Chains A and B, each alone.
Chain A
């Protein structure tokens, strides 16, 4: 997955979980919970959707790698890259 593809997946899923969040008005370093107003159940819903949409396993220990939009993008890019290299 390219950086751009990952970003569009992340933004689409964030919009599904928190359609009230104004993704255009915050920087890509905005934190999901504080800047976009996701609560902990929203965050779990977001992680679930991320897994459903991409097939990537996201164990709880990786949650700290998903604090900001940029974090999520790099996580997706590196996780999909890893899968491609092993298949």
Chain B
């Protein structure tokens, strides 16, 4: 730690003043009720709806013509969408859903790249009081099928290509899915017409909108009404659908202002994919709530192009991933020096630990240090962060958001929370590892896992929400990430459940058993590695290895599929007969985590 000195936030006379000027003062005065008062509420006391707070209130006020989205498509020209147009288009979408017989609380899934259609469909569905669930466009057919089935999808919004490749092959397995709406390119491009009608069983979004009214009055929305389902991976079992309500907008709005330091004239760029919680909470909801201009870049990572976007769009606040910064770092500082990045005021990251060397590199190369933030699908919004006004200890995840009480809970050898004599949980002293935990009290906290109360209840102990992450706190209250307490893999900012990967591998006739772990990777943090034992009659070798890799990639997509496969006929087992991932990890060179335990209780 000492290799990296604290980065001081000394403000010179002409530097801009951040929204929060002093952490300790803000922490003492902050209240969620006050934060809620900075929102409008639906006209006529009709409740609280995310679509109104993000779009309609700006469109009916002074920001009507302010640019909400600056879309950079993969092919074609850059387009802009104002708050006024986003309000009209999303109203058309809400009316179109109504016309299809889609009603309040119906599930609308969105499998879309970053285009303006993504925003129109998410906001429009929320206006119609549907429950929205975003899916990752790089998922293969199997993760898509499983989530659509678990979530009871009634409507799916996607593109013609994604439909043909990933959805058409599994459509017959989804009897509850009534409508598939397809859109391509940007709003301005107009209907697909011939191309879309060539896909049986789909409707052309642009045509649907053409015939729909562009005014829509949002009905009564209770702040506790379900708004979003975000699927997340667990150690065992199918993916979990974390349930979020409209009140979550209070957290998104407050954290955007205080943790991301967003201001009305900012040009903001969130690089996260909309299929993950960051891409929705901070790619769609938070920046729109603040009324800022968002850069919506359809393309993937490309160092030279990304520097170009930062420069030419004049990005002022940038929310990205440690993996992306490590890739830029690998590209060399010379590339950055070819670009004017002087507009950049604040850089933050999320998704995996941000190494101290990257924080320092960011200050040297981008001109501002990267600010790590910590949160997860369940918490819905930023929980622990480094702030514009607060000194950075490189490598630390920062300090709890002003309205959040966080701690580190002491654990016994089995990983259970230690209890005091009075039955309360023992908080670890400064400098000791334990489980990162929070007092659930903020608006964007998840309200349950879809259809799985048992797993939901298991997330809490003695009034604390258990995050599954191990951390320690230093004497000054800065938190430091230590590792995961379970087997979930963090790769390039994505959370990957080993069970889902193992299940797919075991569908292959050659595979008798599979154990999947994360192994360290200099770029992605961790990558997925699978150990498989083979059925009799199959021979381990390069051909079979490549076949299994291809098999897994086809079904899971490149993000979730293993990047390495090893053959092992002697996979270690728990007493209950499950593959012991902890022992697989301990065999990997450079992986101390998990030690050499020979017994492990299977869940």
Q: Do B554 and A20 touch across chains, with their CB atoms under 8 A apart?
A: yes
Q: How large is the interface on A (under 10, 10 to 19, 20 to 34, 35 or more residues)?
A: 20 to 34
Q: Does B252 contact A (CB under 8 A)?
A: no
**Cross-chain contact of B138 among A18, A39, A61 (Cβ < 8 A):** A39
Q: Determine whether the beta carbon of B332 is less than 8 Å from that of A18.
A: no
* A37 in the interface (beta carbon within 8 A): yes
The majority secondary structure among interface residues of chain A is: helix
Which of A39, A41, A64 lies at the interface centre, i.e. has the most chain B CB atoms within 10 A of its CB? A41
Q: Mark B499-527, 1 if CB is under 8 A from A, else 0.
A: 00000000000000000000000011001
CB distance from A69 to the nearest CB of B (A): 18
Does A33 count as interface, using CB distance less than 8 angstroms? yes
State the Cβ distance, A33 to closest chain B Cβ, in Å. 6
- Taking the nearest CB of chain A, how far is it from the CB of B148, in angstroms? 21
B101 to A: closest C-beta gap in Å: 36
Residue of B nearest to A39 (CB): B558
Contacts A39-B138, A60-B332 given; indicate if A20 touches B550 (C-beta within 8 A). Answer: yes
In the complex, the chain A residue whose C-beta lies closest to that of B549 is: A19
Does A18 contact B558, Cβ atoms closer than 8 Å? yes
How far, in whole Å, are A38 and B557 apart by their CA atoms in the complex?
10
Of all chain A residues, the one with the shortest Cβ separation from B75 is A34
**B558: which of A37, A60, A63 is its contact (CB, 8 Å)?**
A37
Nearest Cβ in chain B — how far from A64, in angstroms? 6
A20–B546 alpha-carbon span in the complex (Å): 9
Which residues on the A side are within 8 Å of B332 (C-beta)? Answer: 59-61
8 Å CB contact of B546 from A15, A38, A42, A45: A15
CB distance from B15 to the nearest CB of A (A): 32
In whole angstroms, what is the CA distance A54 to B527 when docked? Answer: 25
Task: Indicate if the CB atoms of B331 and A60 lie closer than 8 Å.
Answer: yes
B302 sits at the interface (CB 8 A): yes
- Please pick, from B74, B300, B549, B551, the residue contacting A39 in the complex, using a CB distance under 8 A: B300
Q: What 0/1 pattern do residues 16 to 60 of A give for CB contact below 8 A with B?
A: 101110000000000001100111111011000000000000011
Which residues on the B side are within 8 Å of A38 (C-beta)? Answer: 558
Q: Which residues of B contact A42 (CB under 8 A)?
A: 558
A7 to chain B, nearest CB (A): 19
Give the complex CA separation of A39 and B299 in angstroms: 11
Chain B contact residue count (CB 8 A cutoff): 26
Verify if B210 is at the interface (C-beta below 8 Å from A): no
User: With A19-B553, A33-B300, A63-B302 given, is the CB distance from A39 to B335 under 8 Å?
Assistant: no
CA distance A12 to B332 in the complex (A): 29
In the bound complex, what is the Cα–Cα distance between A19 and B563 (angstroms)? Answer: 11
Complex contacts, A61 vs chain B, CB 8 Å: 304, 331-332, 335
Chain A residue at smallest Cβ distance from B521: A41
Say if the beta carbon of B571 comes within 8 Å of chain A: no
Contact B327 A40 (CB under 8 A): yes
Taking A18-B553, A60-B303, A61-B335 as contacts, is the C-beta distance between A41 and B524 under 8 angstroms? yes
Determine if B559 and A16 form an interchain contact, defined as CB atoms under 8 angstroms apart. no
In the docked arrangement, what's the CA distance between A60 and B332, Å? 8
Q: Is residue B432 within 8 Å, beta carbon to beta carbon, of the partner chain?
A: no
Q: Which B residue's beta carbon lies closest to that of A16? A: B546
Q: How far is the CB of A66 from chain B (nearest CB, A)?
A: 11
Q: Tell me, rounded to whole Å, the shortest Cβ–Cβ distance linking B329 to chain A.
A: 10
Whether B492 and A41, one on each chain, are in contact in the complex, defined by CB atoms closer than 8 angstroms, is: yes
Q: How far is the CA of A63 from the CA of B300 in the complex (A)?
A: 14
Specify which of B138, B330, B524, B549 lies most central, judged by the most chain A CB atoms within 10 Å of its CB. Answer: B549
B82 to chain A, nearest CB (A): 30
Complex interface residues of chain B between 284 and 309 (CB less than 8 A to chain A): 300-304
* Assembled-state Cα–Cα distance A15/B492 (Å): 22
B550 x A39 contact (CB < 8 A):
no
B357 contacts the other chain (Cβ, under 8 Å)?
no
Q: Does B40 contact A (CB under 8 A)?
A: no
**Contact A63 B303, beta carbon cutoff 8 Å:** yes
Q: List, in ascending order, chain A residues with CB within 8 A of B138's CB.
A: 39
A31: nearest residue on chain B (CB-CB)?
B74
Residue of A nearest to B542 (CB): A16
Give the docked Cα–Cα distance between A59 and B327 (Å): 12
Task: Judge whether A41 and B527 touch: CB under 8 Å.
Answer: yes
With a cutoff of 8 Å between Cβ atoms, the chain A residues found around residue B527 in the complex are: 41
Q: How far apart are the CA atoms of A45 and B528 in the complex, in Å?
A: 14
Q: Does B535 contact A (CB under 8 A)?
A: no
Q: Determine the chain B residues whose CB is within 8 A of the CB of A45 once the complex forms.
A: 563
Contact A19 B304 (CB under 8 A): no
Question: B553–A20 contact, CB under 8 A?
Answer: yes
Sorted from nearest, which 7 A-B pairs have the closest CB atoms? A19-B550, A60-B331, A20-B550, A20-B553, A19-B546, A40-B301, A39-B558
A residues contacting B by CB (< 8 A) are 15-16, 18-20, 33-34, 37-42, 44-45, 59-61, 63-64
A-B contact pairs, 27 of them (CB 8 A): A15-B546, A16-B546, A18-B550, A18-B553, A19-B546, A20-B549, A20-B554, A34-B74, A37-B558, A38-B558, A39-B138, A40-B300, A40-B301, A40-B327, A40-B492, A41-B492, A41-B524, A41-B527, A42-B558, A44-B327, A44-B523, A59-B332, A60-B303, A60-B304, A61-B331, A61-B332, A64-B302
